[in-house]
Structure 1
Amino acid sequence: MDLGQILGTLWRGKGWIGAAMALGLAIGAFTIANTNPTFQADALLQLEEKSGSLALPSSLSAMVETDPRSVTEIEILRSRMVLGRAIADQNLDWRVTPDTMALVGTVFARYRFRLLDTVIPARFARPGDRIALDTLIVPPGLLNADFILSVTSATEYQLVLPDGLRLNGVVGQPLTHAETGFALTLASITAQPGRRFYVRQVDERRAINVLRDRLSVSERGRASGILEVRLTGENRTEDMRSLDAIIQAYLGQNISRSSAEAESSLTFIRAQLPLAEQTLRTAEAALNAFRQQQVTIDLTLETQTILGQVTRIEGELADLQRREDELAQRFTPSHPTYRQLLDERARLDARLAGLREQVGTLPETQRQILNLSREVELAQRIYTELLTRAQEVEVLRASTIGNVRIVDSASAAPLPVAPRKALILALGMGLGAVTGIGAVLARNWMRKGVQDPAELEQLGLPVLATINYNKHADTEGRREGKLGILAFESPADLTVEAFRSLRTSLHFAMLDARTPSLTVTSSHPEAGKSFLSINLAAVAAQSGQRVCVIDADMRRGQLRRYFGMSRDVPGLAEVLAGDLPFEDALFQGPHENLFLLPTGQYPPNPSELLMRAGLSELIAACAQHFALTIFDTPPILAVTDPVILARNTGAAIFIASHDTTPLGEVAEAQKTCAAAGVKFSGAVLNRYDPKRAGGQAGYGYGYGYRYTYKQRAQ
């Protein structure tokens, strides 16, 4: 890969690249103008570690979740439960869209073009056009369907239902359709008569998905418990109002969730209170009955001590059982808190078993009254604790405020966050530059024309001269009228100097030629053969040589136009046919040493004429009268005429047009000549443009003085 060549190619195509960048910039500017601005509202939330500020008993502290669990809270905030409530509160499932033109409608809806107002249909939106809905009730069967609302006056409108029914309404007054259950009330109209709007109510799930796509929630920092909530939209005020509704819905569910555990515990305690009271009454009745039966019995100090210990342990076990029931609703037995409770209960069961063995050693009466007293005290203790816990949970439920705090309420910056103008313009220019570079490189890769004289030399063709591009060589499009000879009109031109260089090169190349005749051909038309032939003849004539130029293209020859001759003059065709002597067909040019033999009348069989003996006689006659004879022939890959002439003339040269003649055609022309036993004496790189070639060849300098030529009087 030649990096210098690639850079040179890009520099030559800088115009294309610049145009592509300008086009990309224009597309970026249009994209910005054709895109509604997007604003962003944001808020800041803090996930706290406790749900209330009251001092609660340690037995209730375990009921309060202390882990913020940011990831969980983010998903809850984006849930259908929260977003659905916000949509219902703010009617975010209502859609009001102005009618706009395809592709460019947003531009005309954002910017006013007064000159185009009369051209743009009245139904399309203009800057500031809007309507405000007060009520919209759509039956389930018409959800996601468009209702077309057309403004008829400042306070009146016409509504077209999806089935084509037309209803007329007034601002502030309900518009209903009893058959479908549809109802609409407009709060205001800010639009000229004729404007059209599309009114729609989308289904809840679609509205939730749209709102969720606009909502983003992230945690600031790592495990900070600070959530940043952002909502994007095209209306700054509505974005703030919608975000505030989402936050309030989230706070509401958070408080409800925080009080749910307390409510569950309270329900459980209230269900246990009647059972505990009944157990207490039964135990008291049994103890009283036993005492009446045994008259009166006093417990000894040892028995009372054992009774107190047993009662205390059984009370602790009952308390552990209630705590286990509560924990079972929230944790599995493998949870550390749950496992600690199980270990504590096992320890108390062991102590209770030991005390019961001591009770077994007491007298029968003492044992019975001990058991009955123990059951009464245990039932009374359980009932008292349940009453106390019920009151504590009531306080907990009343003091629940959730574990979320609003740090920053919903707010939106005055400037939009999208479209990002600088980025879009830079991206447009960058894509334009990439497209331009790709187009230039692809064009250069697809173009297989000769770029440098060295490419011809690699094919075995010595380059006799490089002729710079000159506008006089472009004869295409000038089918009629006289053509100027550059060597006579601008003798100091750099291109003419290249012809002089070619004249010198040919002088040495034809030293061993059998005749002073030259065949000039190319692989395709418009390669500049005629321009080169006539100007080469002109500079040779200026040097004192008698030169004859023969237009051997008997199909579309144009050399006569350089001499101002008409189309019907006789020439080569008549000479080869034997109808006209050679001397009578010659015409003298603007220089005394320059002569022309035109094509004559275009014959139907040019190749057959050239194969006659008259061609050899013509070449021999030219050798006697002229120092150089130049045959301007048609393209060698199109017809066989150049091959016939090359076999009979002293030399043949190939004309390659810079950046146009493919190297494959050059090689094919060589094969065609080689098949006939002919070899090109050299090649000329014509129409060479140093700017397009990057200055890789050709002249890299200019002349600081002029040559002056004097023509002899004719």
Structure 2
Amino acid sequence: MNTTKTSSAASDEIDLLALFKVLKSSYLKIGFFTLFFIVIGAAYSFLATPIYQANATLQYDKMSQVSLLDQMSDVMPFANNNNSQADSEIEVIKSRMVLGKTVADLNLDIHTAPAGFFDRLWGDKASVAISLYSLPEHLIGEPAIVTYLGENRYALHIDNQTFEGKVGELLKQDEISLLVSSINAEVGQEFTLSKNARYSTIENLRNTLTIAEVGKSTGIINLAIKGADKAENVQILNSIIQNYVDQNTERKKEVTNNTLLFLDEYLPKVKTKLDNYENQLNAFRKKNESIDLSLEAKSALDSALQVEEKLNELTFKEVEIQQLYTRNHPAYQSLLDKRQQLLREKEKISKNIQKLPNTQQQIVRLTRDVESEQAIYNQLVAKQQELSVLNSGITADVRIIDSAESQPNAIAPKKTLIVVLATILGFIVGCAYVIAREFFNNKIKGTEDIDALGVNVYATIPFSTHEKKLIAAGNKRPLALENPADTAVEAIRSLRTSVYFSVMNQGNNLVMISSASPGVGKSFVTSNMAVVLANAGKKVLLIDTDLRKGRIHKAFGLSNKTGLSEYLAQQDITQPAIHRGVIENLDVICRGKNVTHSSELLMGERFKHLLDTVKGQYDIVVIDTAPILAITDSAIIGKYVGTSLLIAYYGVNTVKDVELSLKRFKQNDIEITGVILNGIDAKSDDYNYVYEY
């Protein structure tokens, strides 16, 4: 049980380690992505339009209200809810009533800019100021072009029409009106001109605003606006707060005036009613001079007067509250509920009065009517005088604590943060790319891919930059002759040792080297291995059996007029053309002229006879064969040899290529002795493990 867990943990560790190695080997790609994103982030940081923020502070002074609502806490406990009041005021500031006036006052629905892309990009100083721009509905949002003609003249191009106007004079054509107040531009300079819909302009303005109460129940409201122009931000915010203060003042005046109008209409009616009640009371007293109120009657009268006084107060409060809220508002509903409660109490008192003697009832009712109406009249007169005085010097419930002021530095873009985030993002994207590429890459990445197929890796040969330079210079001689100290040659020497012991064990000195596909360095490995074997004092014969595309003759600069193909095809040639002494201890048989029926020739007795002959004359016979997946020549030759080697190229051949090659050989009863992994990347672990020694 513990062993299983340990193996699983080791597997996970190996996977993570392999992932780290992949990332490490691809550090240049990751670095490129990181650098690319850094450049993009830096470019955006420096080219993006800087955004500035302006702030202002208001205070809503609830104690200065003329409205009777400040006295209604006994009727409506929530009437003094500062949070609710602050929220309401914030919504008023954000309303179309306030913002719409700012849009209209500052022409925020009119947009102008230099027409050229580079003029806008580099912030061209040319400008045009528009005081009035009116369009029919169907042209709202449509761009127009204003061209400066010089001498304070301009041309307006809109809706496939052109009109000429003069700076400072109203241009009016049908439903189009334009007043250009100033132009600062060269002759021929063009400007784009557009008028946006009022609703969308207000929405855009609202989106740039941030409004919130500072603290809890403080009545202090902070306003902030963001935009690219510091001066314009200040101008817009000052306009908003001034419009808000103005509407607040106008609203108070409206409420006060409406209340005064009500009092002017209602006072004469109350005075007439009071006079009638007084006349009735006086007439009753004259008729009944000796009647005095009993103690019980006085108590009932006092209670009735108190209720009437409260009902009168509610009546005054209702006059103002109905100007602020609808009947469905909780404040209004609370007032109505309170009135119903007082009316029920009044009815109860009336029932008690009815229990008194008739004469006592009459005098109580008459006295109550007179005193109640007198109280109403006195309150109305006092309120009228109070409102008349206040109306002449009425002020807003809001005061401006701090007018708009812009922060000196831009709040966006945050250049350092953007570059840091771009760096992180670039690194992540680079790693993701490398991992995804590795995940979907089915090429051979190391010896472990070969080991997984159950076949030995005989050698790993690193990619030789020196060989690449030789080929570029047109030098096709074996690397072992040109640069014997090259690491690739050293790897082939290691291969030589493995091959030598394989030959000794097999008792067959015929060595075949094949490949899964062309272009994987088969001839490079074969020719160089023949050289290092010869340098070790072994008598070596190198045979090129790739009768279609063999290139051994080019590696040694030999003639290819006659070779193996001629020997196999022509019965009159008793022995193949052997190039002897190519180097010391090395003879070579070239392929000869290329043929298309190579398999038939290699299956003949002459080829078998040749191999039987030469293996007794040489210590080792190295046979270069055609790729097994291309043609079956290797399977034919493999029947005669003792050691069969297969070359696969690092990062070119797939594991499937090697697997199919092994399967093809196995189908012909040929066992591959080992695989040679060619072209190992110097950054890979397979290279470092062996060659850092």
SS of match in other structure, 2:186: coil
Contact 2:70/2:80 (8 A) holds in 1:
no
SS in 1 for 2:690: coil
Matched, 1:51 2:64: yes
Amino acid at match of 1:227: I
* Residue matched to 2:161: 165
How many angstroms apart in 1 are the aligned matches of 2:655 and 2:470? 23
1:627 aligns to 2:627 (yes or no): no
The structure-2 alpha-carbon separation of the partners of 1:505 and 1:368, relative to structure 1 and needing over 3 Å to count, comes to closer
Q: What is the one-letter code of the residue matched to 1:7? A: F
CA distance in structure 1 between the aligned counterparts of 2:598 and 2:313, rounded to whole angstroms: 118
Change (3 A) 1:671 1:210: same
Residues 623-672 of structure 1 deviation map (CA, whole Å, 9 limit, x = unaligned) = 13221111111211111111111112222101121222211211111110
* Alignment-derived partner of residue 395 in structure 2: 401
**Structural mapping, 1:187-226, within 5 Å:** 187-226=181-220
The structure that is helix-richer by fraction is 2
Equivalent position amino acid for 2:503 in 1: M
* Among candidates 254, 265, 271, match of residue 277 of structure 1: 271
* Separation in 2, partners of 1:61, 1:6: 74
8 Å Cα contact 2:512/2:623 also seen in 1: yes
Aligned residues: 669
Residue 40 of structure 2 aligns with an amino acid whose one-letter code is I
How many angstroms apart in 1 are the aligned matches of 2:228 and 2:331? Answer: 52
Q: 1:659 is paired with a residue of what secondary structure?
A: coil
Distance across 1 between alignment mates of 2:448 and 2:68: 96
The yes-or-no answer on 1:74 pairing with 2:66 is no
Matched residue SS, 2:639:
helix
Could you list the runs of 5+ residues in structure 1 that have no partner in the other structure?
Answer: 112-125, 702-714
Equivalent residue number for residue 126 of structure 2: 129
| Equivalent in the alignment of 2:520 | 527
For the 8 Å contact 1:44–1:228, the answer to whether it is kept is yes
TM-score normalised over the length of structure 1: 0.85
1:667 pairs with 659, 671, 692, which one? 659
Equivalent residue number for residue 118 of structure 1: none
Question: CA separation in 2, counterparts of 1:503 and 1:534?
Answer: 12
State the match for 2:563 in structure 1: 571
Q: How does 1:543-692 map to 2 (within 5 A)?
A: 543-565=536-558, 568-578=560-570, 581=573, 583=575, 585-588=577-580, 590-692=582-684
Shift of 1:344: 5.7
Structure 2 counterpart of 1:127, one-letter code? D
Query: Residue 100 and residue 34 in structure 1: after superposition, are their counterparts in 2 closer, same or farther (change >3 A)?
Result: farther
> Judging changes above 3 Å, is the alpha-carbon distance between structure 1 residues 550 and 582 closer, same or farther for their aligned structure 2 residues?
farther
Shift of 1:552: 1.5
Distance 1:374 1:62, change over 3 A: closer
* Structure 2 CA distance for aligned equivalents of residues 392 and 312 of structure 1: 28
SS at match of 2:583: coil
Match of 1:11 among 24, 30, 46: 24
Does structure 2 retain, via aligned residues, the 8 Å contact 1:548–1:626?
Answer: yes
Give the Å deviation of 1:298.
6.7
Q: 1:314 to 1:76 in 2, by over 3 A?
A: same
Q: Is 1:320 paired with 2:334?
A: no
Distance in 1 (CA, whole Å) between partners of 2:18 and 2:570 is 55
Q: 2:485 aligns with which of 464, 482, 492?
A: 492
The verdict on how the C-alpha distance between 1:225 and 1:389 changes in structure 2, with shifts beyond 3 A counting, is closer
Q: Which residue of 1 aligns with 2:115?
A: 99
Whole-angstrom CA distance in 1 between matches of 2:269 and 2:133 = 54
Question: How far apart in 2 are the matches of 1:76 and 1:456?
Answer: 76
Q: Is the 8 A contact 2:311 2:339 kept in 1?
A: no
- Distance in 1 between the 2:469 and 2:594 partners? 20
CA, structure 1 residues 580+173, in 2 after alignment: closer, same or farther (shift >3 Å)?
farther
| Structure 1 residue 174 displacement after superposition | 2.8
Q: Distance in 2 between matches of 1:194 and 1:518?
A: 85
Counterpart Cα distance in 2 of 1:227 and 1:57:
20
SS of match in other structure, 2:221? strand
The share of aligned pairs that are identical, in percent, is 29
Structure 2 residue identity aligned to 1:323: E
For 2:105, give the aligned amino acid. D
Matches within 5 A, 1:339-488: 350-351=348-349, 353-355=351-353, 357-360=355-358, 375-395=369-389, 397-398=391-392, 400-474=394-468, 481-488=474-481
Report the Cα distance in structure 1 between the residues aligned to 2:393 and 2:605, rounded to whole angstroms: 125
Contact kept, 8 Å, 2:309 with 2:375, in 1: the verdict is: no
Distance 2:653 2:689 in 1: 17
In 1, Cα distance between the equivalents of 2:385 and 2:444? Answer: 101
SS state of the match for residue 222, structure 2?
A: strand
Instruction: Give TM-score scaled by structure 2 length.
Output: 0.87
Distance 1:482 1:58 in 2: 107
Q: 1:302 aligns to what SS in structure 2?
A: coil
User: Is 2:208–2:226's contact at 8 Å kept on the other side of the alignment?
Assistant: yes
- 248-257 or 78-87, which moves further after superposition? 248-257
User: What letter matches 2:652 in structure 1?
Assistant: T
RMSD: 3.3
